[in-house]
Structure 1
């Protein structure tokens, strides 16, 4: 999109009369998807479930009753 910077008195406009504006340059065109599912939070050593990006439930890794295999896979692949 072009925005007029100065007034052109001649019929022919010079190259410097227009300035290119970057209207969407500061916005992220591909925003991050909200978290869904269970993740392992390394800073608190807890498993945390998220629903549409909002924290829903959390439990301690020490008291987790899920399979050890699942726990290790979640720690490895879904750590935040």
Structure 2
């Protein structure tokens, strides 16, 4: 007969990172704002108020 095995239900090693700030979402092709890990609002590239350099940098460095 097999002995019971203990299963790890909760992995407490490292918490998942919480998103905060503006990100570029590849799937929807929009800039998305997150606050405490929750989606706050989204805006299209044309309606976003950042300058061209900021948009390109955000699309390159903060894409999700």
TM bin (shorter chain): 0.7 to 0.9
Instruction: Structure 1: state its 5+ residue gaps.
Output: 6-20
User: 1:1-80 alignment to 2 at 5 Å?
Assistant: 27-80=11-64
Q: RMSD of aligned C-alpha atoms?
A: 2.1
Please, what TM-score do these two structures have when normalized by structure 1?
0.65
User: Taking structure 2 as the reference length, what is the TM-score of the superposition?
Assistant: 0.79
Larger Rg: 1
1:40 and 1:65 map into 2 onto residues whose CA distance is: 14
Q: Give the unaligned 5+ runs of structure 2.
A: none
Paired residues, what number? 61
